[in-house]
Chain A
Amino acid sequence: EAQVTQNPRYLITVTGKKLTVTCSQNMNHEYMSWYRQDPGLGLRQIYYSMNVEVTDKGDVPEGYKVSRKEKRNFPLILESPSPNQTSLYFCASSPRPGSEAFFGQGTRLTVV
């Protein structure tokens, strides 16, 4: 089944403890992105990747890192999480410019 898989689905962590949210797609898509969703703000892009080893900042990149060492994986790294990073996170992939994005199931992150 074609899908984007995020792990974990839920995560509670403490301020300052490094964490990684994984994202994997099995559709051979070139493009991958990370978004965060906050009430009343919709979804905002954190980082995106056009291809392996090609990444760029989105609208809200502060406090996040990403890497794209292989086509299928695009992990999101929070080196020192803070409570303002408590949010719902989505990974998405798309095959070409202008196409729709296929989303993962979301990761609910709480930083205390």
Chain B
Amino acid sequence: AQTVTQSQPEMSVQEAETVTLSCTYDTSESDYYLFWYKQPPSRQMILVIRQEAYKQQNATENRFSVNFQKAAKSFSLKISDSQLGDAAMYFCAYRSPSQTQGGSEKLVFGKGTKLTVNP
């Protein structure tokens, strides 16, 4: 079974600085999808960024980018120019390919990293 590990329960960053959140995963599959979700105090789960394993290019979404290292099974999230509104829990998640390919319709989540942004 796939597992996702976020080794940093808490992180902090100064406003306008850059921070990197770590995520590693364990899988025997060659094709899969990886996500970062943000959960602010409102509890809403918000998609930050998505990466398909077959794409070598790292995904980028405005100030958010990932460093996807397939061989190392690593998927870190970099937040540039941190803003107060970035303060939240961040979850890394893994999804198998379709069930017809032997996968499942399930997101496997890490335990989360709580990010604090200091003014």
Contact = CB atoms under 8 A, between A and B. Distances in A.
A103 B45 contact: yes
Interface residues on A, range: 20 to 34
A31 to B, nearest CB: 5
Interface of A is mostly: strand
Interface residues of B, number: 24
Contacts of A101: 45, 47, 107
Contacts of A105: 43-44
Nearest to B1: A59
A43 B95 CA distance: 13
Given A98-B33, A98-B97, A58 B106 contact: yes
Interface in B83-113: 91, 95, 97-100, 103-107, 109-112
A42 B91 contact: yes
A31 B109 contact: no
A45 interface: yes
B15 interface: no
B111 A97 contact: no
A-B CB proximity, top 3 nearest: A97-B98, A103-B45, A42-B109
Interface of A: 31, 33, 35, 40-45, 48, 50, 58-59, 88, 90, 92, 94, 96-103, 105-106, 108
Interface of B: 4, 33, 35, 43-45, 47, 50, 52, 91, 95, 97-100, 103-107, 109-112
